Structure 1
């Protein structure tokens, strides 16, 4: 895959969970014992957590969130992708042997769950019938496409969209004499696994 997108600077990593807990406790003016009383956890356990000597379970974090008056997301590390922004003048073209031109609009987010792909589909091209677990969303930006999903056979024109369970047999075909431009969004990500990029 050709990644020609602008790289955005990564955010500064958040401090370890122990430091976040201690910082919040201090901000609330709580002693370890007071936090233990609020959270239902023991003082020795909290002392170990604050020093990053142990990692609290999900249930312990729920108690800590209650005691510190925060959402549980306060303790989580949010994954960030360096190529979060895709610029129009630097498209990320996907290198694949196909008459269709593909551009990856999604970022290289760790454990990415979906694909967002812009496709330039030449006249006469027909995708093979496919089935897979997940969901597919199609939106025609330009041109006209014949589309099938399960028992639905239709023509999608500019501005039309289609959303369906990808376990239904599906395909897209350009039966016109001009190029069609399609926005495809689907789960799970097949590009993340390095699968062939024929997702429509």
Structure 2
């Protein structure tokens, strides 16, 4: 694969790495682009997801533009935002934060937005925004306390991980499941393929070694 087919993931999220691998797109470099994720005043969740994914992509591009072997790489960035109405929920690090989020989500429908941003080898930026609606069951006190005790909520937008124990809370999901995990696969693969990245090359390689 040529230098122009190298892929950089501007995220250190194990979930996004696993999802890319699931799609047959193994990143050649993982570059966690840490940025200030504080929402601007009155910023809509959709706008926040798009802005942060673009900021992460641009930060990775600036850092890697002069690094040998990556000057013509595809750079993929993403950011996931969980919201109830216009209220943006945090990526929970404290027990009280997680408790507050789960109590708010209990018995309600919320939305998960993921902004994805791709920098092409020619330096163009391509963006997509994906929205999924998720409805939680009404959580009992035992369920809430047990989930908080599991620690699975730590570092997760909205205080939960749908691919883990919290999957049992979901009554209904409308849209992309992988979007809620952190990277909408259909839109990501479509974006990469549309810009010339040979995603299916990895599928053929896997078939030959199977």
Q: TM-score, normalised by structure 2?
A: 0.26
Q: Larger helix proportion, structure 1 or 2? A: 2
Quick one: higher RCO (CA 8 Å, sep 6+), 1 or 2? 2
Larger Rg: 1
TM-score if structure 1 supplies the norm length? 0.27
